[in-house]
Structure 1
């Protein structure tokens, strides 16, 4: 009888602990839902111009109050207005410390000059560049977000940014 009572007490204690933990984590679930809504508004360039390593970390920072809504140059004024509407905040101009709004661009590799070093492939956050080591590389324009992260690591400077195809705009 003592063993049954002990098991019952232990089970009750575990149940209470689980209930308390579930209640404590509920705000995180609400926070994650907000992060998802914010992330859907962001342009998904994964460029890091906002000061965060991608759109999801920036969304998390906005939701937690760590970052302001005006740090995304690719999203521009439209993105800032959409974030302001979503979060019931006042829209503000793009923070110039993060860059300027530009028309959509895509990377273009001048293939004749490419040495196949793969540094651009490693830098691309959306896997829009294909190629093999010591072979020519090319950009899949439909996947390229124009983040510019492939340009600095290119040792032969064979990557240009051009206006995005009209179909994407």
Structure 2
């Protein structure tokens, strides 16, 4: 299959979200700073967007077209929807809600925790100094020679890639079973 620019477009944007965000910022300028701090802009945007049509785009040209369309055709509706949203949120500005968290953010946080645990293990084993902050870029470069060195002692060279990661995982599990507090952050 021949790859074209059209086939590679992997994101789309609801331009109405951008227009609503601009309008929220515009209308909040007249609010006292103290009240602005209590208003949850995400909830205001959600309220307003649920009352407006979507304007999706997947290209730069489409984005500009939809932005002009939104500003020309829906300006008064956007202003009105944001005004109603602010009024609704103002009635209960301290309302507690559990925000949605993106899966990407969650995975990123889990990866940071895993890296910190590996860093603690390497410090415990005195492989890296206590003041060293480990990064993902350094991890493979640091672990691969150590793993091969360990395997060479057993006359067994491990291949690079997933097999080496499986070996590291096995070693970490063994170390963890011997010392469960090892991975405390």
**Which TM class, normalised by the smaller chain length?**
under 0.3
Give the number of the structure whose residues are more often helix, by fraction. Answer: 2
TM-score (norm: length of structure 2): 0.23
Q: Whose relative contact order is higher, 1 or 2, with alpha carbons under 8 Å and at least 6 apart?
A: 2
Structure ID, larger Rg: 2
Give the number of the structure whose residues are more often strand, by fraction. Answer: 1
